[in-house]
Structure 1
Amino acid sequence: MGEGLTLNLEKEVERQTDALIKATQEIITLRSVESDAVDGCPFGAEVGRALECALQIARGMGFHTVNLDGYVGYAEYGSGEDYVAVLGHLDVVPEGGNWTYPPYGGEIHEGRLYGRGASDDKGPIMAALFGLAAVKNLNLPLTKRVRIIFGTSEETGSKDMDYYAGREKPPVAGFTPDASFPTIYAEKGGCKFTLAKKLTAAGDSVRLRSLHAGERVNIVPDRAEAVLSAREPQALINACAAFANCHKVELGASLAADGTVQIVSRGKAAHGSLPHQGINAAMQLLAFLAECQLPADLVSYLKAVTDAIGRETDGRSLGIAYRDEASGSLTLNAGLLRFTGDTVALTCDVRFPVTWTGEQLIEKLQSAANNLGIDLASFTFGKPLFFPKDHSLITTLQKVFTTVTGTTVDPIAIGGGTYAKHLPNTVAFGPQFPGQPDLCHQPDEYITLDDLVLCAKIYARAIYELAR
């Protein structure tokens, strides 16, 4: 890898810095959270607008663009039978609360660009687009086409990539800028399951009216709420205060105008693959409700899930704790809590090590549910991803990272699942640098302007090395 080439690419990226920042700000202003399908927008109008915005930016840079029925779009450059892919996503998780700056403002403060999607994944895919533009502007010789692929459903199951894979040939190599640097050689398997119970007993002194926490299963819920009716509401309020003080949790109760008691639990959001970095508001609330004079079958359920999960994030009490050398320990996030009619349900997100199978996990979960006397109501799972560390794709991206940054760091395994699981010959590569905090799915998500530009430099070199 020539030093002169690296410098030329870096200078070309730097020349485009203002345009890169402006494009990233523009795409952040669109609240591209999945909603009901409309014509030409299978994941909602706002997601569709974000896709068209990205394609318009790419067209303005001279790229050929394609919109695949609103599911996926891509910008393409070069010629040849084979192509290299860079896959990023424009959809985002809901913004939640507690933002210092507007979540869709795209504002810059002290060298940081704030907004939902700034680091996950709008900023990084814009960096990749401008990295390709640097290769194009320098007219570097390539033997393969390059596609910057804009996905629209990564946060809600990657149905977009299934649609793409069913209609397009796979890339010969590629990466997704949607994880961490350096290269991700392994991604844990994923499993979502629900522990539920149908209730039959009526309330006596205390009755549950509503129960809700979480908007996405892959986010640690930072707020949970229950509404109860009670013969002695003040006693319930006092019990809540005593519980909060004893367990040092943020839990409060208040009397509503209709005489019901509203209980709100507050925690800290985090990515579902890193649940230990958050504070689960749902599990705090369930632990308190398990001590209330609610109907016997509801209390039985509450105690069961509190004993089996509680504040644990490794699945130990459920009997599913497992780790391997390649990818580390299993993680568990209790992400969604719902009470509908006569059924209470807790939905969890598990990331399991690459040497385990989903079938093994489900077998253990079924056994645990049977022992707890509750239902394993539903489950889905996705397979792990694993590349040997000496695979050519891994070694090439590792060399690129070292060349551009001047640092040498071993490839890593992660719990998060990325687009790399949905297209062959691809791995995750950036944008989070070693030692940086993980801001995905959290309030005040941002990317520094320096990192945005540095990512573009790294991706420019990676694109060239994979496609030359």
Structure 2
Amino acid sequence: MNINDSIDNLKDQLIKAVQEVVRVKSVEEKPQSGMPFGEGPANALETALEIARNLGFKIVNLDNYVGYAEYGESDEYVAALGHLDVVPEGDGWKYPPYSAEIHEGKIYGRGTTDDKGPIISALFALKAIVDAKLPLSKKVRIIFGTNEESGSKELKYYLDREKPPIAGFTPDAEYPIINGEKGITIFDFVKDLNTKPQGDFIIKYIKGGQKANMVPDYCEAGIKADLRSVLIESCEQFSERTGYDLKIEEKEDMVIVKSYGVSAHGSLPQLGKNAIMQLFAFLGELDLGSSDIGKFINFFNRYVGFEVNGESFGVGLSDDVSGKLSFNLGVADINEDKARLTLNVRYPVTKTYEDLMDPLEDRIKDTGIRVENMQHQEPLYFPENHPLIKTLQKVYKEQTGDEPKLLSIGGGTYAKEMPNIVAFGPIFPGKPDLDHQANEYIEIEDLIINAKIYAHTIYELAK
């Protein structure tokens, strides 16, 4: 039996396994005893490992941080590394986000593409190799992470206890092959609001967004207004004039302005509509006097607005390998005393952290705005003649017939955290990238093709 026939025989099992894992809501939660990232990710890991056990693999659970399925006896191993945690589901789903319903040949649900479907397809790829009785010289591990969407802290735990693979891939990006990943920063812009508004409109709070690496699809402001009718009329006129989806309602002693955007992955902010910046655009038209919150809002309206590449902020970096910097303002948490915005900025692979931070610090100089909680991942770049890259190109060309072009992306994958791996699939050229969006799905046909590609890849790396 050859590999592809083996995958075809496993098709129904693969589909059911993906559905089973997707039905586990695995958004990061507060840590519990024995559950470092909360109950959901731990349950998803247990589910995936039980599927692997039933397929006949040895399984290891490293204290619910990370787990793996293993085949073979060699000291060296190759790996497929994916994650079972997901970002919050958000609103706007036509099918329940954790039901894994199948409609028109697609499995719908949070995590179907990012990244439960692909890593389960890699698990079944290894099963196909075993069923085809193909000899391997190296051990293979399918590694299940549980914290990729919130910092990949589980991989430090893994590498403190296990040696890294000699080669491998993470099925968590797009095809053909990702040999470059932009540098990633996540940080807060913070300003103390000492000078309060004096006038008809007092902003009590602004709150919106879910995570730095998601374009915010909702934001609201609570405003105390002496002239409520004026505020309501202004909001309605603004919404009609701009086309921004703003709603307004009276609630107790405040007027609540609600902004509705469109979510997208933080590495591709151009695919979304930023609800925070829509709200800022409206608030910037109110007379807030010389207050600190007014200055804060006006600063971001002037230097960010709806730009997604950082030009006006002075950080519009680009290169020929990976393109333009991406600039996503993801979370707002503002009260009467302090303003905090959380950003996700990704810079080109040939640029440095200093290339980003020097002009960024210069822009906020003398504004009272400061940077806090900086998280940074350096860029990743594999040259085109690297043996791993050559192997993946060979498999992709053989299995698809398409040219295996090399890509650089803004999305950060496990490849930055685990030595000797690159991102490989699962999204095919021309197919929509629905990561972090409502109505995420994976086409069953693509799921099967992925399994075949991953099986041949594992075999080529481990034979």
Q: TM-score range by the shorter chain?
A: over 0.9
Q: Where do 1:23-422 residues align within 5 Å?
A: 23-203=17-197, 204-256=199-251, 258-294=252-288, 296-340=291-335, 342-370=337-365, 372-422=367-417
Cα deviation, residue 372, structure 1: 4.2
Which residue in 2 is equivalent to 1:435?
430
CA distance in 1, matches of 2:302, 2:140: 51
**1:329-382 CA distances to partner (integer Å, 9 max, x unpaired)?**
100000001114510111110110111111331222111111544222342211
Runs of 4+ residues over 3 Å off in structure 1: none
CA distance in 2, matches of 1:43, 1:374: 32
Contact 1:195 1:369 in 2 (8 A): no
User: Between Structure 1 and Structure 2, how many residues are aligned?
Assistant: 461
**1:143-163 CA distances to partner (integer Å, 9 max, x unpaired)?**
100000000000000001111
**TM-score with structure 2 setting the length:** 0.98
Question: 3-state DSSP class of the match of 2:351?
Answer: coil
User: Over aligned residue pairs, what C-alpha RMSD do you find?
Assistant: 1.2
Cα deviation, residue 119, structure 1: 0.2
Cα deviation, residue 255, structure 1: 1.6
Contact 1:358 1:382 in 2 (8 A): no
Matched residue type, 1:42: P
Which deviates more, 76-85 or 147-156? 76-85
CA distance in 2, matches of 1:394, 1:436: 22
Cα deviation, residue 259, structure 1: 3.5
**1:235-282 CA distances to partner (integer Å, 9 max, x unpaired)?**
0011111212222211121222x1411101111111000001111010
Which residue in 2 is equivalent to 1:459?
454
Question: 3-state DSSP class of the match of 2:207?
Answer: strand
Unpaired stretches in structure 2, ≥5 consecutive residues: none
Contact 1:365 1:376 in 2 (8 A): no
Q: Percent identity?
A: 49
Question: 3-state DSSP class of the match of 1:299?
Answer: helix
Unpaired stretches in structure 1, ≥5 consecutive residues: 1-6
Matched residue type, 1:226: A
Which residue in 2 is equivalent to 1:9?
3
Question: 3-state DSSP class of the match of 2:232?
Answer: helix
Question: 3-state DSSP class of the match of 2:267?
Answer: coil
Cα deviation, residue 87, structure 1: 0.3
Contact 2:318 2:324 in 1 (8 A): yes
CA distance in 1, matches of 2:296, 2:19: 46
Contact 1:369 1:376 in 2 (8 A): no
CA distance in 2, matches of 1:437, 1:121: 15
Matched residue type, 1:133: K
Contact 1:20 1:130 in 2 (8 A): yes
**TM-score with structure 1 setting the length:** 0.97
Cα deviation, residue 306, structure 1: 1.0
CA distance in 2, matches of 1:364, 1:111: 48
CA distance in 2, matches of 1:200, 1:143: 66
**1:134-188 CA distances to partner (integer Å, 9 max, x unpaired)?**
0011121111000000000000000011111111111100000000011100000
Matched residue type, 2:361: Q
CA distance in 2, matches of 1:294, 1:375: 22
CA distance in 2, matches of 1:426, 1:202: 52
Which deviates more, 357-366 or 60-69? 357-366
Cα deviation, residue 225, structure 1: 0.6
